[in-house]
């Protein structure tokens, strides 16, 4: 067994742990990611990298995985990693040439390059770069002067509020002032404005979004309605965490049920996990993820969400690691892939069950051998596991 194969397997085995927190990268093509950015009115952040690039590896391991980086980038961008030597990266490079690695790009939903930086970054520097990219698309200034001069044309005020929201600037006062002035606008215009203005769910504006749900879905479409409602509810969850208001968490989950019922249970369990993790209420945190694992239909994604969250904050909690072992085993039995095997073995190692991990990997190798499969990954995994016995 060569050192290179052993290294590859070791990295693969621990890759789940490295993704336990930090930036959540979009799984799909760059064109799909750009379409998502356009639909959600966000910038697309692209990490254009190469496998052999040292600074790229360092950022992937030490920067993208940091909680504060993930919190900022997940809230403000659609995030995408592109290996520029693979097919999708090559097609991207035809339109957006890359001369050095890593190259960090911020593009709008129409494909316009907003900001472009080369070279490895530390966490605070990367967040500052992202903030600068957002400022570059801040369009509120072009509406502010006319608004301050007294212009209350519907399109101007609507676009002003939308630009403020897009730049993460306060808009609530302007929205309330406008609506309280009883502007001469149609009912359709009023509803459109309310949906844009309701940036959090703990507001009277959001109560109007709930009261006019059927009309808004008919007028603006179900996808846009639910996307806006989910974003507003998430803002209120963060507010509940910041101010330690469990009552606000409960209220927000109830409003989620009214506005996007199909996804409300999943949202509620994840929101509860966030809140109780922050408040260090271990029993309620564990209850929330157990409910998520039991109730939701998106089994793979939700199990992975739970396991990553446990690894990011509670990898020394024996009860939670035991739960994670159960979830990773279910995924392994369902998918029977090298990745799911590696994840299962990762948790067994954390639970100091190396012998059991070796037994599972040996059985998997024997099965692959009977099927005539490539055994190198299994050999590497077993070598890695045996090294953990020392």
Which of the residues are catalytic? 53, 56
Helix 282-295 to helix 318-335 angle, to the nearest 10 degrees? 10
CA atoms of 300 and 136, how far apart (whole Å):
38
CB 46 within 8 Å of CB 56: no
**CA end-to-end span of the chain:** 18
CA distance 98 to 104: 10
User: In Å, how far from its chain's centre is CA 344?
Assistant: 23
| CA distance linking residue 49 with residue 113, whole number of Å | 17
- φ, ψ dihedrals at 47, nearest 5°: -95, 100
Strands (E), the chain: 43-49, 77-83, 103-107, 113-118
On whether the CB atoms of residues 81 and 49 are closer than 8 A, the answer is yes
For residue 253, which of 288, 221, 223 has the smallest C-alpha distance? 288
Q: State the Cα–Cα distance between residues 343 and 357, nearest whole angstrom.
A: 11
Residues 6 or more apart whose CB falls under 8 angstroms from that of 239 comprise 200, 202, 245, 248
Burial class (CB in 10 A: 0-12, 13-18, 19+), 229: buried
- Residue 277's SS3 state is helix
Instruction: Dig out the tokens for 96 from the structure.
Output: 């957006």
């Amino acid at each position: 067994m060569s050192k290179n194969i052993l290294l590859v397997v070791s990295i693969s085995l621990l890759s789940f742990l490295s993704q336990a927190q930090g930036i959540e990268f979009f799984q799909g093509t760059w064109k799909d990611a750009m379409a998502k950015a356009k639909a959600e009115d966000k910038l697309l952040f692209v990490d254009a990298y190469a496998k052999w690039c040292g600074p790229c590896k360092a950022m992937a391991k030490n920067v993208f995985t940091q909680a504060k980086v993930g919190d900022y980038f997940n809230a403000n961008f659609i995030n995408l990693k592109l290996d520029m030597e693979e097919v999708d990266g090559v097609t991207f490079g035809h339109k957006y040439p890359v001369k050095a690695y890593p190259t960090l790009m911020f593009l709008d939903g129409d494909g316009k390059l907003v900001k472009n930086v080369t070279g490895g970054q530390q966490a605070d520097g990367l967040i500052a770069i992202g903030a600068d990219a957002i400022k570059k698309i801040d369009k509120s200034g072009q509406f502010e002067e006319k608004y301050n001069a007294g212009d209350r044309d519907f399109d101007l005020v609507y676009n002003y509020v939308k630009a403020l929201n897009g730049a993460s600037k306060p808009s609530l006062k302007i929205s309330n002032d406008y609506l309280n002035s009883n502007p001469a606008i149609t009912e359709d215009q009023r509803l459109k404005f309310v949906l844009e203005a309701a940036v959090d769910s703990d507001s009277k504006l959001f109560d109007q979004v709930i009261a006019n749900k059927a009309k808004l879905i008919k007028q603006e479409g179900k996808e846009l309605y639910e996307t806006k409602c989910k974003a507003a509810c998430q803002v209120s969850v963060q507010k509940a965490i910041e101010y330690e208001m469990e009552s606000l968490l409960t209220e927000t989950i109830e409003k989620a049920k009214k506005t996007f019922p199909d996804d409300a249970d999943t949202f509620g369990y994840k929101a509860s996990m966030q809140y109780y993790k922050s408040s260090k209420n271990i029993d309620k945190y564990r209850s929330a993820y157990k409910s998520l694992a039991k109730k939701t239909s998106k089994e793979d994604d939700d199990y992975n969400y739970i396991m990553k969250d446990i690894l990011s904050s509670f990898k020394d909690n024996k009860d939670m690691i035991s739960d994670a072992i159960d979830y990773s085993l279910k995924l392994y039995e369902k998918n029977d892939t090298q990745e799911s095997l590696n994840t299962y073995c990762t948790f067994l190692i954390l639970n100091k069950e190396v012998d059991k991990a070796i037994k599972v990997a040996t059985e998997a190798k024997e099965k692959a051998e009977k099927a005539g499969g490539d055994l190198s990954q299994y050999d590497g995994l077993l070598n890695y596991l045996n090294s953990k016995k020392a």
